[in-house]
Amino acid sequence: MNNLNDPPRWNIQPGPRERGVGAGDGNQWNYALLVPMLGLAAFRWIWTRESQREIQKGKAQYDTDVCTIKSDMEAQYRETLTESRRAAAALELELEKERQRVKGYKQAIISQSQHLIEERKQLEQEREALEGEKQRLVRSGTAGAVLRHALEQENEWYQRATATLKELEGLLVERQNAYCSLIQPRDQRLEMEKNMLLKVVKDPIGAELNLESDMKDIFKRDKHCADLLNLDKRKNGSLMWVYLKYWQLQVTVQKYKRAEEAILGGKVQNLTK
């Protein structure tokens, strides 16, 4: 059995030569610690070098990723910029087309208005000529009585035609107000236009005055609206008012023509005998 009072020499003992006066037991321990410390220093040096290598590798990968992302973003930016410019150019082209179209509409309305004004002047001249003829016939005695009677017979037609035009005026005012309204549905305005066309087609006076084509022209070309703060519906529209005056002149001239045709056809001749 082992003697606990004399354990084996587990600890490092200095050699016999190292023993002597002044020789301490700590020298052997110093040498024993030197090896682990050298190993630790070597491990630290290797670890530091590997860490530096990984850091450099990470930096290089980061720079590569940043460069790639930057290139992708620049390409997307250029593509987006190109698309935006293309879209802006397309919108500018459409805007120019709309400007030309509006300009064409304005020129057409002006031309149509001038044409109607010329026709109205011509009708006024015809009316003045008929009025002068009427006064001459009135002064001629019997012929004047015939003309008065013929005009009285056409007066009922004249009153009905005038009432029809007055009703159409109200309908056109409401239609133009619907066209200029920002809240009234477009389908409601189209329904109003459809009903107005049906009315003038069914009405004999509308057929005599050819109101259907004139109404379609108004619906197509009259786009005039007063300012947004306007509360007077009658300030909307431009071409429709020219047509209304034109129609009234037509009715007046038509009254005298109908009376003249009645006289020439012998329908009122017997009344003078």
Q: Is residue 152 part of a domain?
A: yes
| pTM, 2 dp | 0.49
Q: Is residue 58 part of a domain?
A: no
Classify residue 214 as exposed, middle or buried by CB count within 10 Å of its CB (0-12, 13-18, 19+).
Answer: buried
Find the mean pLDDT for residues 36-51: 77
Structure confidence at residue 22 (pLDDT): 46
Structure confidence at residue 266 (pLDDT): 61
pLDDT beyond 70 at 122: yes
Classify residue 62 as exposed, middle or buried by CB count within 10 Å of its CB (0-12, 13-18, 19+).
Answer: exposed
Can you tell me the distance from the alpha carbon of 97 to that of 84, in angstroms, rounded to the nearest whole number?
Answer: 20
Average per-residue pLDDT for the chain: 77
Structure confidence at residue 147 (pLDDT): 63
Find the mean pLDDT for residues 5-34: 52
Cα–Cα nearest to 203, from 172, 249, 171, 165:
165
Structural domain total, the chain: 1
Can you tell me the distance from the alpha carbon of 30 to that of 105, in angstroms, rounded to the nearest whole number?
Answer: 109
Name the residue with higher pLDDT: 145 or 62. 62
pLDDT in tens, 64-108: 878 888 788 888 777 877 877 787 787 778 778 877 877 777 777
Can you tell me the distance from the alpha carbon of 135 to that of 149, in angstroms, rounded to the nearest whole number?
Answer: 14
Q: Is residue 113 part of a domain?
A: no
pLDDT in tens, 228-271: 888 889 999 999 999 999 999 888 888 888 777 777 766 555 44
Q: Is residue 29 part of a domain?
A: no
pLDDT bucket at 195, cuts 50 / 70 / 90: very high
Q: What is the DSSP string of 139-172?
A: HTTHHHHHHHHHHHHHHHHHHHHHHHHHHHHHHH
Residue 225, C-beta contacts closer than 8 angstroms, at least 6 positions apart: 176, 179, 180, 236
Structure confidence at residue 12 (pLDDT): 45
Name the residue with higher pLDDT: 223 or 6. 223
Name the residue with higher pLDDT: 227 or 270. 227
Name the range with the highest mean pLDDT among 14-28, 145-159, 186-200, 242-256. Answer: 186-200
Half-sphere exposure of 143 (CA within 13 A, CB side): 10
Name the residue with higher pLDDT: 216 or 127. 216
Least confident piece of the model among 48-62, 168-182, 205-219:
48-62
Q: What angle do CA 146, 148, 153 make, to 5 degrees?
A: 95
Q: Is residue 2 part of a domain?
A: no
Tokens of 117: 């004004």
pLDDT beyond 80 at 1: no
Range of the domain at 262: 118-272
Find the mean pLDDT for residues 52-63: 79
Q: Is residue 54 part of a domain?
A: no
pLDDT bucket at 196, cuts 50 / 70 / 90: very high
Q: Is residue 148 part of a domain?
A: yes
Find the mean pLDDT for residues 101-123: 78
Q: Is residue 145 part of a domain?
A: yes
Can you tell me the distance from the alpha carbon of 133 to that of 127, in angstroms, rounded to the nearest whole number?
Answer: 10
Cα-to-chain-centroid distance, residue 59: 53
